[in-house]
Amino acid sequence: MEQSKLTSEWIQTFNRLGSEGKLKPTVPYQDLFNRKELKGFPLHTLPMWTVNFPTGYITCCDPLVTLPSKPDTYLRQVTPGTYLLETKIIEMEPNEYRYVASRVVFSGNEPVYYELALKGTEDLTDLDDGDTYIGFPVDSGLATIVDAQTIETYNRFYEQWHINYPEKNIYDDYYSDLFQLNAMAYPQYQRSKGDWINFTIPDTELTVPMIQSGFGDGLYPVYWAFDKDGQICQIIMEYIDCSEAYE
């Protein structure tokens, strides 16, 4: 997003909410990702390879519904590069898994505080009115994290695919096979039809991970993690609220 679109009122409200602690998560994510159980339920960590951020401007969204509309990126920028992606999973019943949160790790530094990831266009009064977060909507049961260049490149791929196959559905006729193949290759923590892929846009090195979003559709928060020097060290997408376990 262009910085010129920011208003002084939005910035002032953002700073005030930060000072009041209203931009913090309700879950200590570093502890969550280090845990092997939560309230008696086993927790697992699933590596999902890497993501490429060539510009460092990134966003989280629904890959099937929102990504084709070229969403704005977050205000904060990370150092361009390729980074590890992993997802924390809870085992609700034997061999029944739900994805709790995904994170991209930018450095090995320990997070010391977190901040809600925002784009500068949100109505921040929602946080004054009692909401605990502002998140991104999911309508396909999937979440992704992508770079600004990936957004543009994916849009060209998406439009060309629909030109080539005007009567087809891109999930049913393209992605569903990729999900099932990934589940066959990496069956751990997945259902037979697949719960995640790390899709590489054809003829590029740009990736679009598509990850099961907890219990399906909803509104999910994203948080930056900062180290003791104030540098961004992680970004976290939360799918299942685990705050009750920490009360």
Each residue of 178-223: pLDDT tens digit? 999 999 999 999 999 999 999 999 999 999 999 999 999 999 999 9
Residue 164 has phi, psi (to 5 degrees) of -70, -35
What pLDDT, in 10s, does the model give residues 141-186? Answer: 999 999 999 999 999 999 999 999 999 999 999 999 999 999 999 9
Cβ atoms 104, 85 nearer than 8 A = yes
3-class state of residue 83 by DSSP: strand
Cβ atoms 210, 58 nearer than 8 A = no
State percent of the chain over pLDDT 90. 95
Residues 6+ apart with CB under 8 A from 34: none
3-class state of residue 245 by DSSP: helix
Alpha helices in the chain (DSSP H): 8-19, 29-34, 125-128, 148-164, 170, 176-185
User: Which amino acid belongs to residue 162?
Assistant: H
Residue 3 has pLDDT above 80, yes or no: no
